[in-house]
């Protein structure tokens, strides 16, 4: 079974709830998880399996608590070649920048050499009042890929 680092970035808490919910599902399937809400790079192990859950803030921006991590990835440019990851974005399709934060995260991860497992899940809060529900369905498929 896998050790999975779950990174969440949230402004109002939705991504944190989704991250904690998915951690429970992964643990029920025998995986171990370490959930980090807005970590900095020195708290991270640049190898292994990550799951990144992020809401979108403002005009497609990262939540404030994820800004430091991704600024460090940009400036320090560590190799993430030993990282495989999944990605879940939360946003509102009422905005042109729907899930823009998870798209920016995905580009940064790939630029650093990480390999995404599966498709990015983009949860539209206008369609899903409880974002944990579509995340749970996605997680069932993602578990089979890891």
Type and span of the H or E element at 18: helix 14-28
Residue 58 banded pLDDT, cuts 50, 70, 90: confident
The first and second tokens of residue 56, run together, are 């979108």
Residue 125, classed as helix, strand or coil, is coil
Tokens 């498709």: give the residue. Answer: 119
Q: How far apart are CA 88 and CA 67, in angstroms?
A: 17
Q: What is the pLDDT of residue 11?
A: 87
Residue 121 banded pLDDT, cuts 50, 70, 90: very high
Q: What is the mean pLDDT of residues 27-43?
A: 95
Q: What is the pLDDT of residue 51?
A: 98
Q: What is the mean pLDDT of residues 120-134?
A: 96
Residue 86, classed as helix, strand or coil, is strand
Phi, psi (deg, nearest 5) at residue 30:
90, 0
Identify the CATH number of the domain defined by range 8-123+140-145. Answer: 3.40.50.360
Mean of per-residue pLDDT scores for the chain: 95
Phi, psi (deg, nearest 5) at residue 102:
-70, -30
Q: What is the mean pLDDT of residues 111-132?
A: 96
pLDDT greater than 90 at residue 145: yes
């Amino acid at each position: 079974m896998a050790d999975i680092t779950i990174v969440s970035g949230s402004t109002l808490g939705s991504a944190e709830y989704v991250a904690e919910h998915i951690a429970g599902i992964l643990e029920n399937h025998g995986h171990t998880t370490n959930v980090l809400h807005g970590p900095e790079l020195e708290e991270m192990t640049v190898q292994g399996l990550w799951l990144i859950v992020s809401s979108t803030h403002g005009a497609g921006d990262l939540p404030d608590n994820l800004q430091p991590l991704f600024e460090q990835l940009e400036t320090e440019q560590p190799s993430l070649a030993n990282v495989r990851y999944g990605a879940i974005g939360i946003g509102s399709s009422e905005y042109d920048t729907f899930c823009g934060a998870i798209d920016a995260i995905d580009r940064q991860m790939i630029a650093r050499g990480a390999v995404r497992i599966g498709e990015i899940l983009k949860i539209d809060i206008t369609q899903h009042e409880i974002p944990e529900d579509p995340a749970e369905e996605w997680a069932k498929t993602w578990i089979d890929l890891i």
